[in-house]
Each structure stands twice: as C-alpha cells, then as structure tokens.
Amino acid sequence: MIGIFDSGVGGMTVAHAVEQLLPDYSLAYYGDIARTPYGPKSPKTIINYSIRNTEFLLDKGAELIIIACNSASSVATETLRKRFDVPIIEVITPAANCAIAKSTNGRIGVIGTRATVKSGIYHKTITTKKPDFEVYQEACPLLVPLVEEGWLNKRETKMILRRYLHPLKNKQIDTLVLGCTHYPLLQGLIQARIGKKVRLIDSSTETALYVKDFLNKNPTIVSKQKRVTHRYYASDKTETAMKVAERIFSRPMELIVS
Amino acid sequence: MIGIFDSGVGGMTVAHAVEQLLPDYSLAYYGDIARTPYGPKSPKTIINYSIRNTEFLLDKGAELIIIACNSASSVATETLRKRFDVPIIEVITPAANCAIAKSTNGRIGVIGTRATVKSGIYHKTITTKKPDFEVYQEACPLLVPLVEEGWLNKRETKMILRRYLHPLKNKQIDTLVLGCTHYPLLQGLIQARIGKKVRLIDSSTETALYVKDFLNKNPTIVSKQKRVTHRYYASDKTETAMKVAERIFSRPMELIVS
C-alpha cells in the first residue's frame, strides 16, 4: 500500500495523480486538517506532525510514504528517512528535476509557502545539480487560505497573485515551479499572470510520475493487491475541506476522521 | 493569576486590554500557534484543543480562565465549565451585552470566523435577552490569514472586506460586533466600509471590562501578587506571529515556546 500525507487537502492533488497513474496499488491518504496549514509554522512543529502522520500511515499498512506537502518535504524529509525504514518520497526532487529538464535559459522561479521558501530547498536541490542555474523564490502565504476558501476565480485572488508574481516577472524565468500542492488549483490564473511563455511545473503530477518510475525499478517494495482500495483519512472534517476534496477528484469523497 | 488562551496571537488583543485595565494581576497567556487557526475547524477539534489549553494554564497557576477566542468561546465554553472548577469567561457574552446596550434600532450585525457564525451563538445570546432584536451574521474566514500576514492596509484586504460586509450594508444595522479577536486590528478599515454611523463593538475590550467587573464583585477569586508578571506562552513561534504580537502591544515581546 502507498501512504500519502499532507497538512490538509492540498496533497490530494498528488493522491489524485497517483490514483490515475498507478491504478494497481492500494492507497491510504492522511490529511492533517486539525492542524492545517503547515506552511506558516516552524520546522520543529512541522517535523513533529510529519512523524505522527507517517506513523499513522505505517499503522494502516503503508509500505512507501509520499510526503505530499512541499512544506513538510522541505523540512522533515531527512528526519523521516532516518527514523523509518520504508522509502520516503518527497515532492521537491521530482519538481526540481522536471524544472531542470524543461528550462532552456537556466532561470527558474519557485512559488511556495513561507516554510518552503525559507528552507531554500528548491534553490539547493536545483543548484546542486546545475550550479550555473539561477533560482528565484517567492513566498505566497495567502494562496493556501484562498484555495481552501474555494476562491479560485475571484478578482481578489487574481490581484493577490499579481502582487506575489510581480517580483518574478522581471527575472526572465522560463520555468515556474508550483511549489505547494494547493497551487495546481490556481494553475490557469497563475499562467495568465506570469505569462504564457513560462512553463509551469506541477509538483503533484511530477511526484506521481516519479513514484511510478520508482516502483517500476523497485517492483517488490509495494505489494499489489487483488482488490485495490483508496482510503482517505483526516484528523478533522470540515465542509470547506470536503468541497476542495471533491473539486480535486471531481467525485463525491468519503473522509474517515481518525 | 489570570489565564488567557487563544488559537494564536489574536487573543493578545484581549490580553493587552487586561494588562491595561487590571494592572494588579499577574497573567499567563497561551497561544496555540502550532494548531492555528481554529476558525475553520470542527467543534470537536476546537473543544479538544481548548481543554488542553486550559490544562496548560491551570498548571501555570491560573485561577480564572479567559477564552480569548470567539471560535473557542462559541463551541467549547460549556465543556470547559463542566470540566474545570475555576471561572471560565468567554468573549461572546461581554460583546453581546455591549451590543444590546448600544443598539437603538435593535438591528445588530456580527462578523466572525466560520466556526463562530455556524454556532449561531451571538444570535442565541442576543435574542435570548432581546427576542425582538434582529441579528445578521457574516462569516469572514479570510480576515484571520490577512491579519496574520500583516496585510492591515492593503488594497486586497479592503476589497475582501467590502465583499464580506456587502450583505450587511442593506440590513440597516446600527451596531456591528467584531466577533473575532483578530478583527480589532482592522477596525479602521471595517468602519470605513460599513459606514461611520454603525457602532463597532470590540469583543477584546468588552471582555477585559467584563473581567474587571467580575473581579470587583468576586475579589477573592484571583490572588493579587506583590510582583505582577505577564508571561506569554505559545505552542510554536514564528516570525509572522511575533510581528503581529508586537503590533498589538507596541513593544518587543518575549514568547515562551512550551
């Protein structure tokens, strides 16, 4: 079974991609809605929550963990890898690899939560592989609440996006990493504001592709079951979360509060 | 010692008012920054956190608890009163009483988080005392993240406020309760948008006045100490929280992570 966790419902964009790309595997998702959002919190707090989320999923039978949250991936990956024996896959490396492959001018933009941007993880991951690349980051802390409110096409959301993206507009980037699993829900608005020549990298899709490749190379890590199940657990359940979840999956969702 | 808790730093508007109105009492504040915000979460989760926060403050020596959070006051007061022996003071009654006293046309508006509005507590509290009063509520879930980002005078904040307040503009209210301890930081913007004829009720100040009155009538409940201390504890510490805290107190703040 594949285990996936996130601070809330944003990581469901990863789970949705995993369901579609890896239909032969069972999946357990854990959304920590009771403590959402992680983005504005300190690394220590995010690490503590990530350990607890991983333990929950292992208890459900997970044989591989996907950290479907850029904030948690940024600060907690190392701790989780030291602490747990199963493979821990984070969302930064797949998105960074894709950005490196797609950029032709070596100028990459990254938008994310404050925790992700402050960690500098995208800068580090990209420039370790490509020392001559330039990476420009912008923290966009209000995008998560706007997405969670379902304000996906409101004038205020467009204005706030314009304000956040403005510093990146002068950097001649040709690639922009959506470094938060909530942001794919704003993909159209972001594309319109950053310009259609800039290629957007969706960390959710890239991570699902990365896991698919990983399981092709390591076919015994996760067992295939005759009857595939997709279970979605959460530490709290709210109407807003359900609405966002159903928007991501385009189907009624059942969320098990645990 | 007076114990005060909130989901984060918003309740510091209450603590600040208590410091000023009750200078002879020691105070311990607990901000649950690691789990903030409470407003979008379920009653069950908010109640669990409120129990834990109260236990923390009692452990520090609190002899009276102020729930300096409208969301927690709305859903957790009854449970806390059943469970703990000390007086539990919430922010709804003081604000509702003040609104009743100040309104001349009996038409009162209330803005708050989704948890507060959904609980219907202001409606219930006001109409229990004044059955002929009309209470109009609007949930304003994005105001807390905007305040916590320090976007106190941005164009987007003004637009979002206009959108939230619009339904109340046609109700001929003469009084508007700021039913969230974050909102006093937006008082000027709210007044400008709702119109200067509408009187704003700040639940933070009203609660501090209520506690002062309570302690005058019950002088032995909270012991006075020779050396008054004001200690601010939190479950997490972030730069943004520190900035909002210092804006509320207009002084450098020390936050003890506990």
Domain end (from B188, B203, B218): B203
Are the C-beta atoms of B124 and B75 separated by less than 8 Å? no
Whole-number Å distance between alpha carbons of B128 and B125? 5
What pLDDT shows up at residue A184? 94
Are the C-beta atoms of B18 and B8 separated by less than 8 Å? no
Nearest alpha-carbon partner for A180 in A33, A20, A29, A6: A6
What pLDDT shows up at residue B50? 98
Is 90 exceeded by the pLDDT of residue A105? yes
- B116, B37: one domain: no
- B18, B74: one domain: yes
- B116, B159: one domain: yes
Give Cα separations from A169 to A102, A108, A116, B156, B222 (angstroms). Answer: 18, 11, 20, 20, 58
What pLDDT shows up at residue B94? 98
Are the C-beta atoms of B140 and B118 separated by less than 8 Å? no
Across the interface, whether the CB atoms of B236 and A142 are under 8 A apart is answered: no
Q: Which residues of A touch B235 (CB under 8 A)?
A: 45
Are the C-beta atoms of B179 and B203 separated by less than 8 Å? yes
Q: Which two tokens stand for residue B160?
A: 């979002």
Overall average pLDDT of the A7-31 stretch: 96
What pLDDT shows up at residue A31? 98
**Which residues of chain B have a Cβ shorter than 8 Å from any chain A Cβ?**
33-35, 40-42, 44-45, 114, 141-142, 145-146, 148-149, 151, 155-156, 159-160, 163, 235-238, 240
Domain of residue A127, residue span: 92-203
Each residue of A165-205: pLDDT tens digit? 999 999 999 999 999 999 999 999 999 999 999 999 999 99
Question: Which member of B42, B149, B163 has the closest CB to residue A141?
Answer: B149
Question: Which member of B45, B151, B240 has the closest CB to residue A40?
Answer: B240
- B151, B250: one domain: no
What pLDDT shows up at residue B148? 87
Whole-number Å distance between alpha carbons of B1 and B4? 10
Overall average pLDDT of the A41-45 stretch: 96
The ipTM of this complex is 0.91
Each residue of B141-190: pLDDT tens digit? 999 999 988 899 999 999 999 999 999 999 999 999 999 999 999 999 99
Overall average pLDDT of the A47-51 stretch: 98
What pLDDT shows up at residue A195? 96
Is 90 exceeded by the pLDDT of residue A225? no
Nearest alpha-carbon partner for B91 in B52, B125, B53: B125
What pLDDT shows up at residue B191? 98
- A182, A107: one domain: yes
SS3 state of residue B179? strand
- B115, B153: one domain: yes
- A77, A62: one domain: yes
Mutate to test the interface with B, among A42, A118, A157 (most CBs of B within 10 A): A42
Q: For residue A130, what pLDDT band results from cuts at 50, 70 and 90? A: very high
Whole-number Å distance between alpha carbons of B158 and B189? 7
Overall average pLDDT of the B20-31 stretch: 97
> What global pTM score does this model have?
0.94
- B102, B227: one domain: no
Give Cα separations from A61 to A27, B114, B213 (angstroms). Answer: 10, 36, 57
What pLDDT shows up at residue A148? 87
- A103, A195: one domain: yes
The CATH number for A250's domain is 3.40.50.1860
Cα B158–chain centre separation: 22
Nearest alpha-carbon partner for B148 in B239, B231, B210, B209: B239
Nearest alpha-carbon partner for A110 in A132, A209, A120: A120
Each residue of B196-222: pLDDT tens digit? 999 999 999 999 999 999 999 999 999
Are the C-beta atoms of A110 and A138 separated by less than 8 Å? yes
Across the interface, whether the CB atoms of B155 and A159 are under 8 A apart is answered: yes
Burial annotation A42-56 (CB, 10 A radius, 16+ → b, else e): bbebbbbbbeebbeb
Q: For residue A45, what pLDDT band results from cuts at 50, 70 and 90? A: very high
Q: Which two tokens stand for residue A147?
A: 């997405």
- B192, B67: one domain: no
- A45, A121: one domain: no
Burial, B165: exposed, middle or buried (Cβ in 10 Å; 0-12, 13-18, 19+)? buried
Cα B32–chain centre separation: 14
Q: Which two tokens stand for residue A94?
A: 């797949």
Overall average pLDDT of the B23-50 stretch: 97
- Report the DSSP pairing between strands B175-179 and B199-202: parallel
Is 90 exceeded by the pLDDT of residue A50? yes
What pLDDT shows up at residue A226? 86
Across the interface, whether the CB atoms of B149 and A155 are under 8 A apart is answered: no
- B86, B211: one domain: yes
Domain end (from A182, A203, A224): A203
Spatial CB neighbours of A79, under 8 Å, sequence gap ≥ 6: A47, A50, A51
B120: left (phi over 0), alpha (psi -120 to 50) or beta: left
Each residue of B117-147: pLDDT tens digit? 999 999 999 999 999 999 999 999 999 999 9
User: How long a stretch of residues is chain B?
Assistant: 258
Q: Report long-range pairs for A218-226 (Cβ below 8 Å, ≥24 apart).
A: A218/A87, A221/A63, A221/A64, A221/A87, A222/A1, A222/A2, A222/A25, A222/A63, A222/A64, A223/A1, A223/A63, A224/A24, A224/A25, A225/A1, A225/A25, A225/A26
Q: Which residues of B touch A160 (CB under 8 A)?
A: 156
Across the interface, whether the CB atoms of A141 and B160 are under 8 A apart is answered: no
Domains: count for chain A = 2
